[in-house]
Chains A and B, each alone.
Chain A
Amino acid sequence: MGLQAYLTLSAVVFCLGLFGTVTRRNTVGILLGIELMLNAVNINFVAFSRFRGVDTGMVFTLFAICITVAEVALGLAIVILLFRMRKTATADHIDWLKG
Chain B
Amino acid sequence: MTLEIVAFWSLAAVLVGSGLAVVLGKNLFHSVLWLALALVATAGIFLTLDAEFIAAVQILLYAGGVITVVVFAIVVTERLVGEKLSHTSRRIAAGGVVSAALLALIVRAISLAHVDLPRPALTTDLTRQLGTSLLTTYALPFQLLAVLLLVGLLAASYFARPEE
Q: Please report whether the interface of chain A is mostly helix, strand, loop or mixed according to DSSP.
A: helix
Please name the residue on chain B nearest to A63 by beta carbon. B145
Q: Bits for A21-34, please: 1 = Cβ < 8 Å to B, else 0.
A: 01111101101110
- Is there contact, CB below 8 Å, between A36 and B38? yes
> Range of interface residues on chain B?
35 or more
**A4 contacts B77, CB within 8 Å?**
no
Q: How many A-B residue pairs have CB under 8 A?
A: 225
Contact of A22 with B91 in the complex, beta carbons under 8 Å: yes
Is B107 engaged at the interface, CB distance under 8 Å to the other chain?
yes
Which of B20, B73, B102 has a CB less than 8 Å from the CB of A28? B73
Q: Are B117 and A1 in contact (CB under 8 A)?
A: no
Interface of B is mostly: helix
Name the A residues within 8 Å of B4 (CB-CB): 1
Interface size class of A (residues with CB under 8 A): 35 or more
- Are A22 and B61 in contact, CB atoms less than 8 angstroms apart? no
Q: Say whether A25 contacts B90, CB under 8 Å.
A: yes
**For residues 89 through 134 of chain B, which have their beta carbon under 8 Å from a beta carbon of chain A?**
89-92, 94-96, 98-100, 102-103, 106-107, 110-111, 115-120, 126, 129-130, 133-134
* A-B pairs, 9 with minimum CB distance: A70-B152, A20-B23, A26-B87, A77-B159, A22-B95, A73-B156, A77-B156, A76-B73, A23-B95
Question: Which residues does A use to contact B, with CB under 8 Å?
Answer: 1-9, 11-20, 22-26, 28-29, 31-33, 35-36, 39, 42-43, 46-47, 49-53, 55-56, 58-59, 61-63, 65-74, 76-81, 83-84, 89, 92
